[in-house]
C-alpha cells in the first residue's frame, strides 16, 4: 500500500478504548484519519506490555487505513513475518533493539512492507547513517518509549534536521520523518516546523477534551498552521 502523502496526523491506538477498538478507529477514520499506529511492547525493550498479534489482526480487520506497527521489542527480527502476516503496511523497529539492523530492515522490505527505523531520544541520528537507504521512514521518539501521555521532549527536535542532512549527503530521496510521543496542539506545529511530516498522536486524539473527531481536526489545524 502507498504511504499516505503530506503532513499526516496518525492516531496511536495505544490510547484508544480497547474494549471498543473498532468503534474508536471508525470515529477517527470518519474524521479523516488515513494512518494508524499500533504500539507493540514486550516488557523488556520498554518497561511496559502492550498489544500483540491478535490486536494487530483485529485492527487490520477494522480498517482499510495505512497500518504502522511500532515494535518496541528486543530483537524484533523474530516478529517481522508475523506482523507482516497480520497485515502491517509498515513495520518500524528500534535501532537500539536490533542486533542486525541492516538484515532486519532488508527483511521487512522482502516481506512486502514499508520499513521504518526508530531512534530513542538519546540515540544520535548518525547511528542510522548506514541504513537510511533501506528505510521509508525514520521515527524520532519525542518521549522515552513505553507509555502514552508523556511530555514532549523538545530538545529532540533538531534531530529531524540532522536526519534530513544525512539523507541529502547520501543523495537519497527524502525519507518520511515521524515523531511520536507528547504530540498535542502546542507541540504539533513545532514538530512540523522542525521537519516532521507524520505525527503520531494517542492521548490527544483518544483522550482529549473533545470527541475523537474534534480532537483529530484540532490537531490537523494545529499542524497545518506553519505550512
Residues identified as active-site: 39, 180
What is the footprint of ligand DX5 within residues 88-117 (CB under 6 A)? none
Residue 215 contacts ligand DX5 per CB under 6 A: no
The single residue among 181, 189, 195, 208 that binds ligand DX5, judged by CB under 6 A, is 181
CB contact at 8 A, 195 and 164:
yes
Site string for ligand DX5, 9-28 (x = CB under 6 A): ---x-xx-------------
Strand partners, 9: 199
Q: Does 180 bind ligand DX5 (CB under 6 A)?
A: yes
Given 47, 149, 158, 161, the residue binding ligand DX5 (CB under 6 A)? 149
- 43 is an interface residue for ligand DX5 by CB under 6 A: no
Tell me the CA distances in angstroms from 179 to 3, 100, 158, one per residue in order.
16, 24, 12
Does 136 sit near ligand DX5 (CB under 6 A)? no
Among 112, 180, 178, which Cα is nearest to 146's?
180
Per-residue mark of binding to ligand DX5, 59-88 (x: CB under 6 A): -----------x-x----------------
How many Cα neighbours within 13 Å face the side chain of 85?
A: 8
150 makes contact with ligand DX5 (CB under 6 A) = yes
Residue indicated by cell numbers 488515513: 34
Distance, in Å, from the CA atom of 166 to the CA atom of 100, rounded to the nearest integer, reads 21
Sign of dihedral through CA atoms 148, 84, 42, 23? positive
Interface with ligand DX5 (CB under 6 A): 12, 14-15, 39, 70, 72, 143, 145-150, 180-183, 200-204
Amino acid at each position: 500500500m502507498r504511504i499516505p502523502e503530506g503532513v499526516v496526523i496518525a492516531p496511536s491506538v495505544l490510547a484508544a478504548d480497547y474494549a471498543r477498538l473498532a468503534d474508536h478507529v471508525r470515529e477517527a477514520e470518519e474524521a479523516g484519519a488515513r494512518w494508524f499506529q499500533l504500539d507493540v511492547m514486550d516488557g523488556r525493550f520498554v518497561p511496559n506490555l502492550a498489544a500483540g498479534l491478535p490486536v494487530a489482526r483485529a485492527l487490520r480487520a477494522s480498517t482499510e487505513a495505512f497500518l504502522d506497527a511500532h515494535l518496541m521489542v528486543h530483537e524484533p527480527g523474530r516478529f517481522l513475518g508475523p506482523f507482516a502476516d497480520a497485515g502491517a503496511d509498515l513495520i518500524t523497529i528500534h535501532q537500539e533493539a536490533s542486533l542486525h539492523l541492516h538484515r532486519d530492515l532488508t527483511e521487512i522490505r522482502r516481506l512486502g512492507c514499508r520499513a521504518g527505523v526508530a531512534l530513542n531520544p538519546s540515540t544520535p541520528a548518525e547511528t542510522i547513517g548506514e541504513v537510511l537507504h533501506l528505510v521509508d521512514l525514520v521515527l524520532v521518539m519525542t518521549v522515552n518509549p513505553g507509555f502514552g501521555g508523556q511530555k514532549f521532549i523538545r530538545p529532540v527536535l533538531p534531530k529531524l534536521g540532522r536526519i534530513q542532512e544525512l539523507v541529502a549527503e547520501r543523495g537519497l530521496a527524502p525519507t518520511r520523518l515521524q515523531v511520536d510521543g507528547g504530540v498535542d496542539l502546542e507541540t504539533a506545529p513545532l514538530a512540523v516546523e522542525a521537519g516532521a511530516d507524520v505525527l503520531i498522536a494517542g492521548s490527544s486524539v483518544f483522550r482529549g477534551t473533545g470527541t475523537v473527531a474534534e480532537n483529530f481536526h484540532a490537531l490537523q489545524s494545529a499542524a497545518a498552521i506553519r505550512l
